[in-house]
Amino acid sequence: MFAKWEKLGETILMNSVLVTGGAGFIGSHLVGHLLETGWNVTTIDNFDPFYAREDKLLNLSGYRARRNLRVLELDVRNYPELIAHAAGRYDVIVHLAAKAGVRPSIADPGDYVETNVNGTQNMLSFARHCGAPQFVFASSSSVYGVNPRVPWSENDHVLMPISPYAATKVSGELLGHVYAQLFGIRFIALRFFTVYGPRQRPDLAIHRFARMMTQGLPIPVFGDGSTRRDYTYVEEVVQGIAAAMKYDRTLFEIINLGSHRTVALTELIETIEDALGVKAVLRHEPEQPGDVPQTYADVTKARALLGFEPRMPFPTGIENFARWLRERDSLMAKVA
């Protein structure tokens, strides 16, 4: 279960992990945590132009000098390139890479299927090729769709996805079940609930709202502002992923990672206002296709199987995000 890694004449026993999407928001936080806890990390990312390449490079900038990190620019859709450049011995594969976003998936469903379904199939085949015994998959709360039974439990097998993005995540879970049953690869699907914190993607509401508010631009409020989300702090999600990487009790599991509390859109805006010290200008718009009225995680299973215990107060998490945003803007201004 260990790989050798040579450093300054010493032979150190280290776990070996491959992380896809490692330059992204969640991925870069995970990479940092794994490096600090003694893992030998290979990460692949295709630097998709969904948002700026510079942002992703900045996400990894603090780790690039680490001897136990290898960064490869590869695309999970290209299986021959994966085999040619990333094949090796891995104790765990963490598959975070995906086309993100509910609304964009409605405009271009084919691209989402190609990346999220075929890409996941490629990574499962890659895991089999490399003999990786453990596979952790980033699924999504969006698989529950419009489900009035809250909080949402993994035991609810009636999934109601209402976007192509959500459907691709259901497909990824099912592919994982196939590989677990046929080839004995332990597959842990983690359903993330609206992850936030430093390095959050610029298209997500908290980041987008903060940018617009600091520029004095009106922010779009879809519907009456009563929609609710289960916001989960990124460092707590990373702890959940790390625990899933070591989980060994069963061959296949689906586990929610959420905060087990909900925040209304109006409360979200007020919390960002407090963290930034500005007042938002609101622009009310109709509800959007693909949006759900609420997300709410039951984390009983995560607590029991992974020791997952979300504790971050939402206002503190938003303050941490706002601090990072100011520091990032200051840094970018210096190098511009």
Report pLDDT for 5: 38
Q: Model pTM? A: 0.92
Domain regions of the chain by residue span: 3-195+231-260+293-311
Bond from prior residue into 151 cis (ω within 30 degrees of 0):
yes
Distance CA 151, CA 326 (A): 35
Could you confirm whether 196 is annotated as catalytic?
A: no
Architecture of domain 3-195+231-260+293-311: 3-Layer(aba) Sandwich (3.40)
Tell me the per-residue pLDDT of 154-170, one tens digit each, with 9 for 90 and over: 998 768 888 999 999 99
User: Can you list the residues of the chain whose pLDDT is less than 70?
Assistant: 1-14, 158, 290, 332-336
The tally of CA atoms less than 13 A away on the side-chain side of residue 265 is 18
Report pLDDT for 3: 39
The catalytic position among 63, 165, 179, 296 is 165
From the DSSP assignment, how many helices (H) and strands (E) are in the chain? 12, 14
Tell me the per-residue pLDDT of 46-73, one tens digit each, with 9 for 90 and over: 998 888 899 999 999 999 888 899 999 9
Distance CA 109, CA 232 (A): 27
For residue 260, give the amino acid letter.
Answer: H
**Four-residue CA torsion sign, 70, 75, 76, 82:** negative
CA distances from 96 to 3, 124, 135, 213, 223 (A): 23, 13, 11, 30, 31
Report pLDDT for 335: 61
